[in-house]
């Protein structure tokens, strides 16, 4: 297995997609780009990006089995969660457990969001209501699509149920920064979440096992340019990397990739991988599924009160990590040294990163 | 002159700065990165990026000679313009003519804005109130700085006057998309502005000569991957390119640069240059000073009603362009063919762009 694949594969394997690449479906002026399908993730999750014109929307519906996360990549997106209405801006996250009535409306020109759903039973809806396309960006106009009519009847094997809208009142800007400790709907402002520091790298949980019944973790990751981490693999869970700011290098089964905002790497169980942040301010959005790797972040990381990484490195608890790795308590198999020849995070420098 | 210079030079010349590079000044937890100084622009303009923590702010003040433009790169920024209070999100623009009382407050964690001022008489204020630093990202905490106290007395040769705040009421989200026809304060929502189409490329004026007394133009540029444009130079005006989405290649006096979000290229008069958009959705923010090149965009471009580029190419009026170039009516000297060996925009393809 290598990650030479650079279009969406039909079987579970490592693959790289560049910004706005995947499998595309057009629904009116909304472009849905499938970044991870039930097939490519082995049924663990589906990840799509959706972009469109001001006012484009998806009517109130619920998933009866799938948990969902919405992360805004560009512009403003109004998201209805039960009886609440929120205005999300880029970097904000909404968590939508199974059963929650939700809807969205794009509130700026060319807004773009990520939608993550668990279990692999939602994505087929897009092909059902839209048309395959080779466009990589939403068009300025198109024939309108009546999603409410198309979704009025249940679709066999698709976990989407159209329901009456329940929200009232004005949309509120997202300011909350705290992740609750239960499977409930919530929103998190960009930069917020549960912060852990390891050196100068910030791990920020947007959703943990307590929010997803253990189905997935969602993290926002933030750091300065640094060294590559050790080459490792996971035997039981998939990890994904979607660069949202700056630049990073990823190594994946012997291939090396320079990643920029919007680029996505799928790293299923068994894939040898490493990464390095290369820009002064690098950020990536990651999904891990199932959520068994949550203890890793609390082991290497330490709770942190800031919203940006510190000037001086914080603790990086490799001592605790090695203990747990040796005890076989983490889904982490160390395979080799950092692939850039560096001493790893906090160690002596590897090759100059540059651009 | 080449653009080999990759830190802020002290004389007017071509130069490239990577994302978050420049000359840095720390004011409390706000990091000011000078991207173009009075010296590097030859006194035409100054361009700084400012990032900081939620709540960081700059008190009400005015410039008595300089016109200013603020463009939000990340997060939410509240901008006061006279008696109005606006909440800008990424991609929104505020235009602040000389004499307008204005202020800002960062309304998200790690928000970041660009501030452009004309005439080169504002930038010295940052060194006056802050400390030189080698940080490339704002720190999570620092000793507070009382800007009102530091700016209470006029600073010799700096066009900043502290004034009483004048705004009242709640901040309004920016929805306006129309550029007025006068030197007045205004805001423009991301994607809005005066749209002109040339092929599939969108030129979007955020500020034109009518808004700046001819001192500068501000454009938002949007397009899909395409061919490089002809190699050319301007004899009388400076052009700058700041990539905000996707990827582009720039050629500048024989050097070739791959540019990603946040990267900036300064192209003063006399510099031979060309560019190519390389990603499905590429966007760049540009400042041209003085504003004498405005007729170019109306010559090659055609008014366009959409907010995203079309699927099928619109008109590209090379016929009108060549007529004006031959008549010597534009500050445009064609120097050579597209540097990628392509037939130029709309022509047969150049080398595959890839990543």
Please check whether residue A282 is in contact with residue A245, taking contact to mean a CB–CB distance below 8 angstroms. Answer: yes
Please check whether residue B22 is in contact with residue B10, taking contact to mean a CB–CB distance below 8 angstroms. Answer: no
Residue A122's alpha-carbon distances to A37, A115, A267, in angstroms, are 9, 10, 21
Residue among B110, B280, B309 whose CB faces A308 most closely: B110
Beta carbon pairs, A and B, within 8 Å: 146
Interface mutation vs chain B, best among A143, A311, A314, A353, most B CBs within 10 Å: A311
**Going residue by residue through chain A (355 aa), what tens digit of pLDDT does each one get?**
444 556 799 999 999 999 999 999 999 999 999 999 999 999 999 999 999 999 999 999 999 999 999 999 999 999 999 999 999 999 999 999 999 999 999 999 999 999 999 999 999 999 999 999 999 999 999 999 999 999 999 999 999 999 988 777 899 999 999 999 999 999 999 999 999 999 999 999 999 999 999 999 999 999 999 999 999 999 999 999 999 999 999 999 999 999 999 999 999 999 999 999 999 999 999 999 999 999 999 999 999 999 999 999 999 999 999 999 999 999 999 999 999 998 888 777 765 544 4
Q: Chain A residue closest to B259 (CA)?
A: A355
At residue B299, what are phi and psi to the nearest 5 degrees? -85, -55
Q: Which percentage of chain B shows pLDDT scores above 70?
A: 96
- Chain B: nearest CA to A190, how far in angstroms? 7
| CA atoms within 13 A of residue A126's CA, in its CB half-sphere | 25
Interface of A with B in 313-352 (CB under 8 A): none
Query: What are the helix (H) ranges across B232-302?
Result: 294-300
Interface of A with B in 56-115 (CB under 8 A): 74-76, 87, 89-91, 108-110
Q: Chain A residue closest to B91 (CA)?
A: A75
pLDDT tens digits, one per residue of B208-257: 999 999 999 999 999 999 999 999 999 999 999 999 999 999 999 999 99
Q: Is residue A20 within 8 angstroms of chain B, CB to CB?
A: yes
Residue among B190, B262, B311 whose CB faces A109 most closely: B190
Please check whether residue A270 is in contact with residue A310, taking contact to mean a CB–CB distance below 8 angstroms. Answer: no
Contacts of B138 in chain A (CB under 8 A): 308
Please calculate the CA angle B285-B291-B292 and round it to the nearest 5 degrees: 130
At residue B318, what are phi and psi to the nearest 5 degrees? -60, -25
- Chain A: nearest CA to B244, how far in angstroms? 10
- Chain A: nearest CA to B235, how far in angstroms? 31
Residue among B135, B260, B279 whose CB faces A247 most closely: B260
B157 backbone φψ class: left, alpha, beta (φ>0; ψ -120 to 50) = left
Interface of B with A in 192-221 (CB under 8 A): 192
What pTM does this model have? 0.96
Q: Is residue A4 within 8 angstroms of chain B, CB to CB?
A: no
Interface mutation vs chain A, best among B20, B24, B109, most A CBs within 10 Å: B109
- Chain B: nearest CA to A191, how far in angstroms? 6
Please check whether residue A133 is in contact with residue A31, taking contact to mean a CB–CB distance below 8 angstroms. Answer: yes
C-alpha B298 chain-centroid distance: 19
Identify the burial level of B100 via C-beta atoms within 10 angstroms of its C-beta, where 0-12 means exposed, 13-18 middle and 19 or more buried: buried
- Chain B: nearest CA to A99, how far in angstroms? 30
* Eight-class DSSP state of A122: S
B346 backbone φψ class: left, alpha, beta (φ>0; ψ -120 to 50) = left
Q: Is residue B131 within 8 angstroms of chain A, CB to CB?
A: no
The tokens describing A302, both together, are 């330490």
Question: Which value does ipTM take for this structure?
Answer: 0.96
Contacts of A281 in chain B (CB under 8 A): 19-20, 136-137
pLDDT tens digits, one per residue of B76-125: 999 999 999 999 999 999 999 999 999 999 999 999 999 999 999 999 99
pLDDT (0 to 100) of residue A164: 87
Strands B23-27 and B282-289: unpaired
Residue among B18, B279, B306 whose CB faces A140 most closely: B306
Interface of A with B in 271-290 (CB under 8 A): 279-281
Q: Is residue B162 within 8 angstroms of chain A, CB to CB?
A: no
pLDDT (0 to 100) of residue A354: 43
Strands A194-198 and A102-106: unpaired
Which residues fall within 8 angstroms of residue A243, CB to CB, at 6 or more apart? A259, A260, A261, A262, A263, A264, A282, A283, A284
Residue among A137, A246, A247 whose CB faces B224 most closely: A137
Report the largest interatomic distance among the alpha carbons of chain A, rounded to a whole angstrom: 61
Q: Chain B residue closest to A18 (CA)?
A: B355
CB atoms within 10 A of CB B327: 8
d(CA B77, CA B54): 9
* Eight-class DSSP state of B312: S
Beta-carbon separation of A76 and B137 below 8 A: no
Beta-carbon separation of A190 and B224 below 8 A: no
């Amino acid at each position: 297995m290598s990650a030479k694949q650079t279009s969406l594969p039909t079987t579970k394997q490592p693959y790289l997609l560049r910004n706005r690449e995947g499998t595309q479906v057009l629904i009116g002026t909304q472009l849905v780009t499938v970044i991870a399908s039930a097939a490519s993730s082995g049924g663990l999750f589906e990840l799509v990006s959706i972009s469109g014109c001001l006012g484009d929307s998806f009517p109130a519906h619920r998933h009866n089995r799938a948990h969902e996360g919405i992360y805004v990549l560009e512009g403003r997106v109004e998201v209805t969660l039960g009886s609440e209405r929120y205005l999300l801006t880029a970097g904000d996250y909404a968590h939508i457990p199974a059963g929650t009535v939700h809807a969205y409306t794009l509130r700026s020109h060319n807004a773009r969001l990520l939608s993550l759903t668990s279990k692999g039973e939602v994505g087929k809806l897009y092909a059902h209501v839209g048309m395959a396309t080779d466009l990589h960006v939403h068009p300025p106009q198109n024939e309108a699509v009546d999603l409410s009519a198309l979704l009025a009847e249940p679709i066999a094997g698709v976990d989407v149920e159209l329901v009456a809208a329940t929200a009232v009142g004005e949309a509120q800007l997202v300011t909350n920064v705290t992740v609750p400790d239960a499977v409930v709907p919530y929103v998190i402002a960009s930069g917020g979440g549960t912060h852990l520091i390891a050196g100068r790298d910030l791990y920020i949980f947007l959703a943990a096992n307590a929010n997803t019944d253990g189905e997935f973790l969602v993290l926002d990751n933030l750091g300065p340019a640094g060294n590559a981490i050790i080459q490792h693999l996971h035997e039981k869970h998939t990890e994904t990397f979607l660069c949202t700011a700056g630049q990073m290098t990823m190594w994946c089964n012997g291939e090396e990739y320079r990643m920029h905002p919007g680029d996505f790497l799928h790293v299923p169980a068994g894939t040898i991988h490493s990464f390095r942040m290369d820009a002064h301010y690098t950020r990536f959005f990651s999904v891990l599924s199932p959520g068994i790797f949550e203890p890793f972040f609390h082991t290497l990381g330490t709770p942190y009160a800031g919203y940006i990484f510190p000037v001086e490195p914080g603790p990086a608890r490799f001592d605790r990590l090695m203990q747990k790795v040796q005890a076989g308590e983490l889904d982490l198999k160390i395979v080799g040294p950092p692939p850039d020849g560096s001493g790893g995070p906090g160690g002596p420098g590897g090759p100059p990163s540059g651009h």
